[in-house]
Amino acid sequence: MTPLPLLIDTDTGSDDAVALLLAAAGGLAEVRAVTTVAGNVPLAVGTRNALISLETAGARDVPVYPGCERPLTRALSTAQHVHGADGMGDIGLPDPRRAPERGHAVDALSSYPRQCPGELTLVTLAPLTNVAAALVRDRDLFRLYRHVYCMAGAPDGCGNISATAEFNVWADPEAARVVLQSATPDKVTWIGWDVSRKDAVMTPKDQLRLERAGTPMATFAHRINRTAAAWARDVTGLAGYDLPDPVAMAVALRPDLVTEAERVHVDVAVGDETRGQMIVDRRRSAPAPNVTLVRRVSETGFKQFLFDVCAPAPHA
């Protein structure tokens, strides 16, 4: 298979980092560039983490463009309580060997697809601030992309950052609304936190397999998620830390892993109490669908892909 040309927009916390490993070392993608945005951690911290993660995956030549340092209209609210102060489990990772590009992420998100219309797939793993800013400049920007996959939203109303909202949409709901206003189901696929909660939870057995694999990427993936593991134990009550960004990346690289999806109209709430809630309209009178919404993936298929990349069997 020809590797899929990718742009990745990330707020590089510990799950984003694993998604970057899957993209950069999984053999299924050619990562053309990474853009960073404030979210899990402040912009500079997420940019540092993206560079570290790409180096861990052996992708030292992928350009990284820093982007927006706060949401479109709101103050920045990070998720350092989930991923650690440094977003990577606070394990003392050394500085990356290289610096980010001088260009801005929003310029890259606009210019890269113009150089190769219809070729690039965009995967977003973060608040949609950068993508929304690029869309405000060109409302039809998505026509230049092959496809856009967004880790975004809690379509079943079961939230992580609030009782009803998922972090990426909650952090910048206005940006999510801008993206949805430019989306069509043939072009934009959303993978919500329900998929991660149901099909991408790293059980104690999975965590032990990563820990014992002994490969640099497996050890990295295991160690940086230690804060997320504590968050799962103390707050979400899941059997282990979940991997929302890696499962969204897996959907982009391996669409065959999707077992349930629907075309539906989605909007997001921007009020105080309802901030970031997904409004999924299935009425007959609903507006035309604007996204393909993934609801389930193959858990075994996803985890096999994860382990094949991070902890390949010795003979592999």
| Binding-site ranges for Ca ion (CB under 5 A) | 11, 16, 125-126, 245
**Nearest-angstrom CA–CA distance, 85 and 41:** 7
Tokens of 157: 């109303």
149 contributes a contact to ligand RIB by CB under 6 A: no
DSSP code for 141: G
Site string for ligand RIB, 221-260 (x = CB under 6 A): -----------------------xx---------------
Q: Phi, psi (5° rounding) for residue 71?
A: -60, 170
Closer CB to ligand RIB, residue 88 or residue 217?
Answer: 88
Supply the minimum distance, in Å, between the C-beta of residue 31 and ligand RIB.
Answer: 17
Please state the three-class secondary structure of 170-200 as a single string: HHCHHHHHHHHHCCCCCCEEEECHHHHHHHC
36 contributes a contact to ligand RIB by CB under 6 A: no
Closer CB to ligand RIB, residue 144 or residue 193?
Answer: 193
160 contributes a contact to ligand RIB by CB under 6 A: yes
**Cα–chain center distance at 146:** 18
Task: Give the burial string for 121-158 (b: 16+ CB within 10 Å, else e).
Answer: bbbbbbbbbbbbbbbeeeeebbebbbbbbbbbbbbbeb
Of ligand RIB, Ca ion, none, which one sits near residue 160, judging by CB under 5 to 8 A according to partner kind? ligand RIB
167 contributes a contact to ligand RIB by CB under 6 A: yes
Closer CB to Ca ion, residue 196 or residue 209?
Answer: 196
151 contributes a contact to ligand RIB by CB under 6 A: yes
40 contributes a contact to ligand RIB by CB under 6 A: yes
Tokens of 23: 């993209």
Supply the minimum distance, in Å, between the C-beta of residue 282 and ligand RIB.
Answer: 23
**Nearest-angstrom CA–CA distance, 194 and 157:** 9
Binding site for ligand RIB (CB under 6 A): 11, 13, 15-16, 39-40, 79, 125-126, 151, 160, 166-168, 193, 244-245
